[in-house]
Structure 1
Amino acid sequence: MNPNVNVPDALAGPLQRFYDYLNHEKGLSAHTQSNYQRQLSIMTQQLIVLGIKDWQQVDAGWVRQLASKGMREGLKASSIATRLSSLRSFFDYLISIDILEANPAKGVSAPKKKRPLPKNLDIDDVGQLLDVNDNDPLSIRDRSMMELMYGAGLRLAELVGIDINHVQFSQGEIRVIGKGNKERKAPFSGQAKEWLVCWLKVRPSLASEGEPALFVSKRGTRISHRNVQKRMEEWGIKQGVSSHISPHKLRHSFATHMLESSGNLRAVQELLGHENISTTQIYTNLDFQHLADVYDSAHPRARKKKKSDD
């Protein structure tokens, strides 16, 4: 505790009993005990400044204030979550010794952690990566996989799960199984189609008899997720692309480039197989102003009336 802050006995006593409990009954490591004490000490001092003199005064509103204060101080979401977790454990203990009847921190959650999005490749980088002209079967397979991932925006699991009979060349569609075992048709054309034709010509030299998988490894069976990741990473280095290459980065680049060219968020949502458009908004790193502009220009009840409309 800060020696300059006078901690009322009604607050200090239960805290000390909790620390003894952690040490003697829970048997936690010294490091974990120290973390509990540090977090609870900070929050106790903050509550004292707010006028709290007894733990029974603390309700969910006070706990939210502590979380908000952490945000204003610039704490990461994970740090605020750790702080609230310490408080919940302490209040659970107070319930067990009949000081509290309910845990005021139970319904208070930390702000969600921001999911870091992969940086997309620019179009020149994509062109450099896909400029693979080696004629051996593995190189043809790898270029076909990369062309298809970038050309159709597939997830890694979707790519690996494709069987030969899922490919419909005449319609320019591939049947893929996405998240939640949901099936969708992914359109493909251009370079993706051309290189898939090239791969199918040399595939028999690698594939085991009766193997249904579209893409196979040197062993002749369905290629693994890890193998695809490794091969794409190696091609990024071999082709001299400065950015680290991964299957997800190709999917993200597909989404970003499609959105930049078309501005059609709904279409990109369908192509990516996202159930909610909010996922697409986050995935493609759209800013709110862009969405607002799309809404204002497209929604019939949002467009400003022209004089000719009167």
Structure 2
Amino acid sequence: MLDGWRNQQLSRNLGFGTVNSREAIVRRFHTFAGAEPWEWSAAHVDDFFTELRAIRGLTQSTLLGYQLALRTFLAYLVDPAYGWPEECQDRFGTHPTQVCHEWNTARHTQDAIAQPKKRALTWNEVQDLFDHADNRVERILSEGRKGAVAALRDAVLLKVSYAWGLRRNEVRMLDTIDFGFNPKAPSYGQYGVLYVRYGKAMKGSPPKRRSVLTIPEMDWAVESLVQWIEDVRPQISGEDNPALWCTERSNRIALGSVSNKFNQFRNELGFVSGVDFHSLRRSYVSHLIEYGYEARFVQEQVGHEHASTTSIYTDVSSDYRKRVVQNALERIAGRAVRQGRNEEAEP
């Protein structure tokens, strides 16, 4: 059954990682239920997800993913096109049924289901984060310990993630050749454009590509990037290794290490748990809006399919909102003054 389901998903062009994780969820449910798929019931579903939510504390988004995997597997089993109902009926005198229904599973009713505590970083928090990462490099060097190169890599990686609004895997998968020249901004040299080749994929599609322009407010990141690529990275990277971020063994850094390092800095700085690596991307969106960039431009920069997704990411400061209101009041007052002058000028 699992082999057939795997083939079905692969024929839909789903990623191997997605297929493997879904299969692991079904196996986990199978162990919990202590019964075969043709014996599963709605009560098994209720007990399984109650334990995951109440005892293990799974988040809402994770719970939805688990339920989707189980529902999809059962939809495959009950589909007459694959013959499993007849096969089970002949062998066991019963057949599998769909036991994940609307009344015992959650529904995905909105685009963003992140926890309310997830938020963007403030201007001061961004600066504190970068200063903390830079100070770590200086501290290691002053103490004569190993690890200064890795510390510098982590510091520059954080800055690049924020300065170009990248997701975790997008920044991890960058190669040195993923930067290019922007003729409209020649002062940035070959770092005027960042070409993202491993953007977030839609279901059954390859990673989505996009280009991100270097903006003037973030040009400080170019200097750090050039220092890493030209002066430091060659010390640990082999000639045949294209990865921008490599370990001292010349391998591309692991995905988990990106989040782990951010979480370490977050804890050391005393940031609340709602701040995570993705907060850098949220901050990028929010700060570009505060800089005055059009929402459509910001949407293209971060690669959102819909403008509503970009608006969910936007978390502008109270000072920015006050400036918007003040500007609106000044415009209204200006129109009133002009209107009054026009009325006085009438014969």
Distance 1:28 1:128, change over 3 A: same
In 1: Cα distance, 2:223 partner to 2:260 partner: 24
User: Who is 2:259 aligned against?
Assistant: 229
So what's the TM-score if we normalise by structure 2? 0.50
In 1: Cα distance, 2:123 partner to 2:285 partner: 12
3-state DSSP of counterpart to 2:189? coil
In 2: Cα distance, 1:30 partner to 1:111 partner: 22
**In the alignment, does 2:112 pair up with 1:112?**
no
Letter of the 2:164 partner, please give it: A
User: Who is 1:125 aligned against?
Assistant: 125
Contact 1:140–1:198 at 8 Å: present in 2 too?
Answer: no
What's the CA shift for 1:27? 6.5
CA displacement 1:177-206 (0-9 Å, x = unmatched): 222323222223422111112212111222
CA displacement 1:14-49 (0-9 Å, x = unmatched): xxxxxxxxxxx94749776899xxxxxxxxxxxxxx
3-state DSSP of counterpart to 2:280? helix
Letter of the 2:121 partner, please give it: L
User: Who is 2:223 aligned against?
Assistant: 194
Segments of structure 2 that go 5 or more residues without pairing to the other structure are 1-37, 49-59, 72-100, 139-147, 181-187, 202-206, 329-337, 343-347
In 2: Cα distance, 1:275 partner to 1:138 partner: 35
User: Who is 1:145 aligned against?
Assistant: 157
User: Who is 1:183 aligned against?
Assistant: 209
Letter of the 1:187 partner, please give it: L
Contact 2:120–2:315 at 8 Å: present in 1 too?
Answer: no
Letter of the 1:176 partner, please give it: V
Distance 1:278 1:137, change over 3 A: same
What's the CA shift for 1:255? 0.8
**In the alignment, does 2:279 pair up with 1:259?**
no
Letter of the 1:182 partner, please give it: K
Task: Show the 5 A alignment for 1:3-22.
Answer: none
Letter of the 1:112 partner, please give it: T
In 2: Cα distance, 1:27 partner to 1:237 partner: 43
Distance 1:26 1:260, change over 3 A: same
Distance 1:284 1:28, change over 3 A: same
CA displacement 1:96-116 (0-9 Å, x = unmatched): xxxxxxxxx98xx95715612
Contact 1:140–1:195 at 8 Å: present in 2 too?
Answer: no
Distance 1:111 1:228, change over 3 A: closer
Distance 1:205 1:281, change over 3 A: same
CA displacement 1:262-284 (0-9 Å, x = unmatched): 16211110111112212212232
3-state DSSP of counterpart to 1:170? helix
What's the CA shift for 1:208? 2.8
In 2: Cα distance, 1:157 partner to 1:281 partner: 22
What's the CA shift for 1:124? 0.3
In 1: Cα distance, 2:261 partner to 2:46 partner: 46
What's the CA shift for 1:157? 1.4
Task: Show the 5 A alignment for 1:25-174.
Answer: 26=39, 28=41, 110=107, 112=109, 115-116=113-114, 118-131=118-131, 132-133=134-135, 134-135=137-138, 136-168=148-180, 170-171=189-190, 172-174=192-194
Q: How many positions carry a matched residue from both structures?
A: 205
**Which of the two has higher C-alpha Rg?**
1
In 2: Cα distance, 1:256 partner to 1:28 partner: 46
User: Who is 2:20 aligned against?
Assistant: none
So what's the TM-score if we normalise by structure 1? 0.55
Taking only aligned residues, the RMSD between alpha carbons, in angstroms, comes to: 3.9
Contact 2:194–2:213 at 8 Å: present in 1 too?
Answer: yes
